[in-house]
């Protein structure tokens, strides 16, 4: 950038806030060698035949350049979810898993046919004005529309991750159902309705969401989410992920990140704290099952067998059951 003339540099910094084609930049006084150098040094991003200011987040630049390449389109699906910071998850072991890192767009039904390649996916569909919002001057589908679009694309255990997170962020079930109601007879709408009906704002992580789907697929009774126990003096601070009161069984979805720390001492402290927490829960007279990603994604049948074993043990306990309640929902700001 320092090798450009002052006036050219100033014009470029102003103009490149939006996607620009090569001929526009040449009109500002830049040559092809300048463009190659600026891209190489990441002063400019170059995607989908357009250039943008390198100070922008590259993911945003990729999406904006794709949108510019398809005039009249709206950012949607996984790209809209990324811009809205909605959680998504897909099982990459699935042969038909969609390219989540591609730029996803929706165009009106009158546009050319659907387009799908490794780095860009274009769908054709109706887009009522109330299904479209704005993000940094980009037209994007609303959160509710984004959730329903993804739920039509994905199997339940993947779609439920985004449904749960949207509900946690404050999107209502009524909003999701309203969007689904405008997509009658669209491909995948029955699947989307099932995911919406299964949604729960109390599911606080990707692992918890896909675990609920695994439990339901295995025919396990529906658990209570985010339960708290009374210890005789007050409500314990701990909220458990899954609670089956009829079987006195608690299940905790443990990602390894909870034990990560900057120092070995802090890591040991976190492990000791987790052990003390388990002891407080065990003192309530419950069965306690811990599981992680590998159990849910890799060996769900083994996890279900462990839970059924805990159910059988819990059902034989004769001591008075613990006092519990559902903790208040904590919506994310």
**Pair 250, 288: CB distance under 8 Å:** yes
* CA separation for the pair 101, 66 (Å, rounded): 13
Which parts of the chain sit beneath pLDDT 50? Answer: 1, 333
From residue 94, alpha-carbon distances to 50, 90, 315 in Å are 33, 8, 37
Number of CB atoms found within 10 A of residue 66's CB: 25
pLDDT the model gives residue 120: 92
Q: How far is CA 101 from the centre of its chain?
A: 13
pLDDT at 203: 95
Which residue, chain included where needed, has tokens 């613990």? 322
Instruction: Give how far Cα 209 sits from Cα of 17, 88, 199, 260, 301, Å.
Output: 38, 11, 9, 22, 17
Q: Is 96 exposed, middle or buried (0-12, 13-18, 19+ CB in 10 A)?
A: exposed
Strand partners, 244: 249
pLDDT for the residue 1: 47
Entry pTM: 0.88
Distance, CA of 189 to chain centre: 20
Compute the distance between CA of residue 250 and CA of residue 207 in angstroms, rounded to an integer.
Answer: 16
Count Cα atoms within 13 angstroms, Cβ side, for 311. Answer: 14
Both tokens assigned to 222: 């529906």
pLDDT score of 9 = 61
pLDDT of residue 255: 63
Distances (CA, A) of 60 to 24, 119, 296: 21, 14, 32
Are β-strands 249-253 and 287-291 bridged in parallel, bridged antiparallel, or unpaired? parallel
C-alpha–C-alpha distance, residues 215 and 307, integer Å: 10
Q: CA-CA distance, 212 to 225, in Å (whole number)? A: 10
């Amino acid at each position: 950038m320092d090798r450009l003339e002052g006036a050219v540099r100033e014009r470029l910094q102003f103009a490149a806030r939006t996607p620009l084609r090569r001929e526009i930049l040449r009109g500002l006084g830049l040559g092809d060698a300048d463009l190659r150098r600026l891209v190489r040094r990441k002063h400019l991003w170059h995607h989908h035949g357009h250039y943008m200011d390198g100070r922008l987040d590259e993911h945003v630049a990729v999406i904006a350049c794709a949108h510019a390449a398809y005039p009249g389109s709206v950012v949607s699906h996984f790209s809209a979810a990324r811009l809205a910071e909605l959680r998504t998850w897909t099982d990459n072991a699935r042969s038909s898993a969609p390219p989540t890192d591609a730029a996803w767009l929706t165009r009106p039904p009158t546009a050319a046919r659907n387009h799908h390649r490794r780095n860009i996916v274009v769908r054709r569909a109706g887009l009522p004005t109330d299904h479209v919002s704005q993000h940094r001057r980009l037209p994007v589908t609303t959160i509710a529309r984004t959730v329903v679009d993804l739920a039509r694309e994905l199997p339940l255990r993947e779609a439920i991750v985004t449904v749960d997170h949207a509900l946690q962020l404050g999107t209502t079930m009524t909003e999701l159902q309203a969007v689904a109601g405008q997509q009658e007879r669209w491909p995948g709408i029955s699947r989307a309705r099932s995911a919406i009906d299964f949604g729960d704002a109390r599911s606080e992580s990707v692992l918890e969401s896909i675990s609920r789907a695994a439990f339901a697929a295995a025919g396990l009774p529906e658990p209570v989410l985010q339960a708290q126990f009374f210890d005789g003096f007050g409500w314990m601070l701990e909220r458990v992920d899954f609670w089956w009161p009829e079987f006195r069984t608690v299940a905790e979805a443990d990602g390894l990140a909870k034990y990560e720390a900057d120092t070995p001492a802090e890591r040991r402290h976190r492990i000791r704290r987790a052990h003390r927490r388990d002891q407080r829960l065990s003192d309530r007279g419950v069965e306690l099952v811990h599981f992680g990603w590998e159990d849910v994604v890799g060996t769900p049948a083994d996890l279900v067998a462990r839970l059924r074993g805990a159910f059988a043990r819990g059902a034989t306990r004769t001591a008075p059951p613990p006092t519990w309640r559902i903790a208040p929902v904590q919506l994310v700001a």
